[in-house]
A and B are shown apart, each in its own frame.
Chain A
């Protein structure tokens, strides 16, 4: 169910862009032909298995691998003591095989490669490890205290040396200007990606020492760089690494970093001299892969009597877990809604990431934004109530607008926030339904996210190469990654539109670092915008080459020529035309001929954040509003979602059907985050490492989603499009929590919103009133 609000400009009729076309690889996938890491097999391939720690924090006194080595069928047994040290992660604090001590149950102590998975599992059981347990710490606030057990002794403190801080305007003055202030604390749990395909990779060394890694990674080229570091550690400094993507069985941020298991697989393949595949079981996927972190957020916001926001002050503590992956950098994205969701002139944000003996934190769809937006948007409702405003009106009053420069320095191009708010108001029948307190209620949650890439590295680029063959078939080699979101199809639509060919003539190849050119990775909702622009400009360059050739063949000025339906024709005199394939063959079949190959490396017009964490780090910003109508059962505390609506300003929908898929899928993940998902740990041990105990939405739980697509036409976007991958889950939790408040008068400040929190005051967060 989707409604499209058309942009005002209208424009020329598009042939491929804007169409509800099926995903290009769906045909393979419905026949079971797509090859995931689980399906990949090489001649003489061995199976890898990791021995995990038995303690949350302990010294390793001794590892005896002798019995494992003697087991028939075992081809390599490795530990931190018989391999070169390789450390991974953003702060390089994670040795791929732990030496001297373990810091979490998920820690890799040893690994085996064997002729079968069964033998590898048996061998791992035969490895004997002597531990001396150490005092452990699982609460980040306790971990910050003097005398707390140190997770990494050499660092001298459990607080990471990443003092996230942003100050815009004068937040103290903003507080003085406020007539109403609300201060609260919000708690967010650990949740995990639940990719249906578990993690894994396959490593194979070629006879000359070059390495191929088959992997469902989101960051083919950054992974290549990381694996080259491992090669250097093995003394293979000048060799090549090729990363080949398999079909990805879900990613959602989980495959945005490289992890110890990948390096362990490389080491096993090196020492065994055979290809090795290592794939996680579901249980390993739950406890050994990093997750979206637990956050405690203290937040205060204030407004004037007229309802204008005067300040926002946020202080967070993030559980980093035992090691550092991208989780520790999510505050850089949390700053975005904190500084720039609504017009708020004075902002302060500080965040501390703290080592504990818990599982560790990485990227997950939204990258910190869901946690920050839950706190901000829940509180916006509370503040509106204090100041005597309808919460939706209050949002309209403070809404972002096109052309504004936010306090953090974001230059907002297109902005459809008010249109989204209006659309949700209408769809929910807001004015009628709100404020009844009769067990039924409505709520909204707005959001901002990067929609034009995010310059978190010095480059935010993507490369594309396009070639055309003798029969006018187009091959697009893109550095981008498709993990199911449909970037293959969106890129093909953009190229088809620009080149004037039908989508069936286009093949998009992505997934081999030997073939395609560089891309920074599938993150930050950047692929449609950045890879799309890259493909668009490469197609334009190919088109110019074609038209130059055709101009001489047709004796027409090049500027009069165009391509449509694979025919080159003169716009002045359409009777003058030539089949595109004939133009291409004419180029090939002559003495001194030529070929059509074009490439483009697109890097969006953005800045890195400066030392104060300010700057325009995305070329566009995506806005949206989630809305929910809920019914809360007074007897059981169960929340039922009666209606769910997402209105999203996407700039331009390149493929409305795939876009709806993003909205519906994001909403499902967001509703799960709101109502049921919680990766529970006790003294560092994951208690629910399976789908029975870790609840994600099933068919039966999923409400109907109403998708409203708002098109504002982004100036820098390909055909006006902005990124959309993450926003569909960002506003879910506050929309639902606000609806629950509207239904019951009960404000729950921690996720998930379980029945016990609604029936009893088992919230865990403290309530402090405003003035």
Chain B
């Protein structure tokens, strides 16, 4: 095992790390940076629970080596809310539309949706379904997640249906 020294932008902040060359991006984020929002649901790219953005694109962090992000930008679910906890519209929509149950898949779902909306700001429900088909959820039946993504795409800001 060789240790590799890398520098990259993590949620907007420049960071450096020295990691063994076999370490995945997911392991580095969770263990080295203690960002445990991204989850390991399977470890081989089938469930999407580990989804983060690398250069704005959704990737399975469990399949990518940490060294690969050298010089790149990485965004995790922890980097979505502003410093004073102002939530991203997607986070707000997930809360308000009941898109969260056990919540294990939620960070990955939100990051996948983030990438989807960046590419297609007004997706149809069908495009949401196809665009997010790499993220598994066992609790919700996906319906409320589709609603939440559709709602977030419409506003780009919060809508307070709840009291």
Contact = CB atoms under 8 A, between A and B. Distances in A.
Nearest to A658: B98
B59 interface: no
Contacts of A20: 98, 161-162
B106 A660 contact: no
Contacts of B144: 657, 660-661, 664
Interface string B58-101: 00000000000000000011101100010100010011111011
A196 B44 contact: no
Interface in A231-259: 247-252
Nearest to B38: A32
A397 to B, nearest CB: 32
Interface in A687-731: 690-692, 696-700, 702, 704-705
A434 interface: no
B102 A249 contact: yes
B39 A700 contact: no
A252 B141 CA distance: 14
Contacts of B104: 36, 195-197, 247, 249-250
Contact of A247 (B40, B41, B103, B138): B103
Given A30-B94, A249-B102, A665-B141, A698 B41 contact: no
A194 interface: yes
A329 B15 CA distance: 55
A700 B128 CA distance: 9
Contact of B138 (A22, A660, A696, A700): A696
Given A196-B137, A282-B41, A250 B102 contact: yes
B72 to A, nearest CB: 20
Given A20-B162, A31-B37, A657-B98, A702 B142 contact: yes
A445 interface: no
Nearest to A657: B98
Contacts of B128: 699
A724 B37 CA distance: 30
Given A27-B95, A486-B101, A282 B44 contact: yes
Interface string A640-676: 0000000000000000011011011111110000000
A666 B139 CA distance: 8
A740 to B, nearest CB: 21
Nearest to A644: B141
A699 B103 contact: no
A527 to B, nearest CB: 14
Interface string A268-309: 000000000000011000000000000000000000000000
Given A26-B95, A196-B138, A658-B98, A32 B46 contact: no
B36 interface: yes
B17 to A, nearest CB: 18
B138 A30 contact: no
Interface in A329-355: none
A39 interface: yes
A38 interface: yes
A250 B136 contact: no
B133 interface: yes
B140 A661 contact: yes
Interface in B39-57: 39-44, 46-47, 49
A743 interface: no
B101 A484 contact: yes
Interface string B122-163: 000000111011111111111111100000000000000111
Nearest to A198: B41
A195 B103 CA distance: 11
Nearest to A707: B143
A63 interface: no
B140 A664 contact: yes
A248 B103 CA distance: 8
Contacts of B37: 31-33
Interface residues of A, number: 59
A69 interface: no
Given A691-B42, A698-B136, A30 B102 contact: no
A571 B23 CA distance: 67
Contact of B98 (A38, A252, A661, A702): A661
Contacts of A530: none
Interface string A484-521: 11100000000000000000000000000000000000
Nearest to B132: A699
Given A20-B162, A21-B162, A197-B39, A700 B133 contact: yes
Contacts of B102: 195-197, 247-251, 483-484
A31 to B, nearest CB: 6
A105 to B, nearest CB: 20
Given A196-B47, A702-B141, A32 B95 contact: no
Nearest to B97: A657
B46 to A, nearest CB: 4
B95 A485 contact: no
A30 B98 contact: no
Nearest to B146: A699
A34 interface: yes
Given A691-B47, A700-B129, A31 B91 contact: yes
Given A282-B42, A669-B138, A29 B106 contact: yes
A739 B128 CA distance: 28
Contacts of B40: 38
Interface string A2-41: 0000000000000000011111011111111111101100
A736 to B, nearest CB: 15
Contacts of A198: 41
A699 B142 contact: yes
Contacts of B105: 196
A32 B77 contact: yes
B28 interface: no
Nearest to A21: B162
Contacts of B80: 31
A484 B141 contact: no
13 contacts: A32-B77, A36-B39, A36-B104, A195-B138, A196-B102, A252-B138, A661-B101, A661-B139, A663-B141, A667-B141, A699-B128, A699-B132, A699-B145
Interface of B: 30, 35-44, 46-47, 49, 76-78, 80-81, 85, 87, 91, 94-98, 100-107, 110, 128-130, 132-146, 161-163
